[in-house]
């Protein structure tokens, strides 16, 4: 049990007893005037009636602000945005974002991994100007983080992919549209014409439909194709099962009751364009049924070779969870890898990307590979991002972190999520004593217990 010890407290444990008789003082010293009654002799401690001039600076009352913009400004962390999102969003779409597979062990471990570190700061460095800019896959990014692909995004909040892509463009970072997005490739490109747009692909059993999406992505100006390889079958996302999660959301007695104290979400949902998979044919059913009917469990590295020949831009592979697979996909033509366990949404008890990061970084250095190492899963602060960069990541992606902002306040909420992460990163860098991303090294981070 922690015990607070007051300075000079004679009853504090471990304080040596004074052997002098009561009322005596050491030779050569003067009796102290700070006795029980002597405190009054100090001018600053004399009681007085306060003057108005003293009180006036303290009485600057501000008008209470209850607008969504004010609430977003008061959010200091991604967790604050999550709390706002939970209050504003019906349970099914919130749980789809917030939840993971089975017992959600992987997600908890991924988040805990970022907590179980110790930063090692350097002192007496000039950090008057800290820069977060970096380069990823041949082009600059103002921040070392981009927005990961997320499916069904307009279900979380009606602005969906449009809010995400525009916020990313404004922040100077990449935005990735999912195959299972609720805005089309062309519409996202039109919404954020000045942004850097990437497209995430699930390879289907129907290769012609995959090829059609690849061609549309290229024509819309996407410079990077991100192929996801960890979804041979759907993970057991039990929250979705228990919530009866369907696309579009079904109106049942339970959902109507849930909507009774979240009217804004339902008003937006019912008064905007119906929710559909914009890159797919119209589909009605459960998420798991869609994945299991659409995705190809026969994929091999030969399919990656086909993609490399077909796609002329940058190619990254998402869902890498072993060092061997990281090396193999690079050998098969990938320009980069994404260490990811799908946010803990596929295989529970999967490897944690942050723990895998140092091994993959060391392997790539040994191979003299310049392939990009990107990390996602578990990131909830700018400090998490800086830790990942220090341990060998070239870049990071956020999924839930930006979706919490989206649910909390649409486009302004996504902007706020990015601002929070940027502020975190700047502060962490300065306190570590580094002013450039390139100055971060593994010496700045120690994984506790190792």
User: What's the CA gap between 367 and 354, in Å, rounded?
Assistant: 21
Considering 272, 342, 368, 444, which one is annotated as catalytic?
342
375, containing H or E segment: strand 372-375
Distances (CA, A) of 361 to 331, 393, 413: 16, 7, 34
| Backbone φ, ψ for residue 360 (5° rounding) | -65, -40
Burial pattern 267-289, b for ≥16 Cβ within 10 A else e, equals eebeeeeebbbbbbeeeeeebbe
337 and 320 in contact (C-beta within 8 Å)? yes
Give CA 219 to chain center in angstroms. Answer: 30
Contacts 24+ apart (CB under 8 A), 107-113: 107/343, 107/344, 107/345, 107/377, 107/378, 108/344, 109/352, 110/341, 110/343, 110/344, 110/352, 110/353, 110/354, 110/377, 110/378, 111/378, 111/380, 113/352, 113/354, 113/355, 113/378
- Asked if 444 is an active-site residue, the reply is no
The residues carrying an active-site annotation are 342
């Amino acid at each position: 049990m922690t015990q607070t010890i007051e300075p000079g407290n004679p009853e504090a444990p471990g304080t040596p007893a004074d052997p002098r008789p009561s009322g005596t003082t050491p030779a050569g010293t003067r009796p102290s005037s700070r006795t029980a009654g002597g405190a009054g002799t100090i001018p600053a401690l004399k009681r007085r009636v306060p003057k108005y001039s003293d009180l006036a600076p303290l009485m600057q009352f501000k008008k209470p602000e209850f607008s969504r913009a004010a609430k977003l400004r008061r959010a200091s962390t991604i967790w604050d945005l999550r709390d706002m999102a939970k209050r504003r969003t019906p349970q099914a779409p919130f749980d789809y974002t917030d939840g993971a597979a089975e017992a959600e062990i992987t997600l908890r471990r991924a988040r805990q991994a970022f907590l179980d570190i110790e930063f090692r700061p350097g002192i007496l460095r000039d950090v008057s100007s800290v820069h977060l800019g970096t380069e990823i896959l041949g082009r600059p990014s103002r921040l070392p983080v981009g927005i990961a692909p997320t499916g069904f995004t307009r279900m979380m909040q009606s602005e969906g992919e449009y809010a995400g892509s525009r916020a990313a463009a404004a922040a100077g970072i990449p935005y990735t549209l999912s195959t299972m997005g609720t805005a089309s490739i062309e519409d996202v490109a039109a919404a954020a014409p000045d942004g850097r747009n990437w497209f995430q692909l699930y390879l289907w059993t129907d290769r012609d439909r995959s090829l059609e999406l690849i061609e549309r992505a290229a024509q819309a100006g996407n410079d990077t194709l991100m192929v996801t390889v960890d979804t041979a079958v759907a993970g057991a996302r039990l929250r979705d099962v228990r919530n009866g999660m369907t696309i579009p959301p079904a109106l049942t007695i339970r959902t109507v009751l849930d909507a009774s104290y979240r009217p804004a979400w339902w008003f937006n949902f019912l008064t905007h364009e119906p929710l559909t998979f914009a890159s797919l044919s119209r589909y009605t059913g459960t998420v798991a049924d869609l994945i299991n009917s659409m995705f190809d469990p026969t994929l091999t590295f030969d399919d990656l070779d086909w993609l490399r020949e077909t796609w002329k831009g940058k190619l990254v592979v998402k869902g890498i969870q072993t060092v061997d697979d990281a090396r193999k996909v690079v050998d098969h033509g990938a320009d980069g890898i994404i260490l990811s366990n799908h946010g803990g949404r596929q295989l529970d008890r999967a490897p944690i990307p942050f723990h895998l990061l140092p091994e993959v970084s060391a392997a790539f250095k040994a191979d003299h590979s310049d392939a990009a190492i990107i990390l996602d899963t578990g990131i909830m602060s700018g400090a998490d991002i800086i830790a990942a960069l220090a341990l060998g990541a070239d870049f990071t992606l956020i999924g839930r972190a930006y979706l919490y902002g989206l649910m909390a306040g649409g486009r302004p909420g996504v902007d706020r999520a990015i601002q929070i992460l940027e502020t975190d990163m700047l502060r962490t860098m300065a306190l570590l004593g580094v002013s450039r991303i390139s100055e971060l090294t593994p010496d700045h981070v120690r994984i506790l217990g190792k």
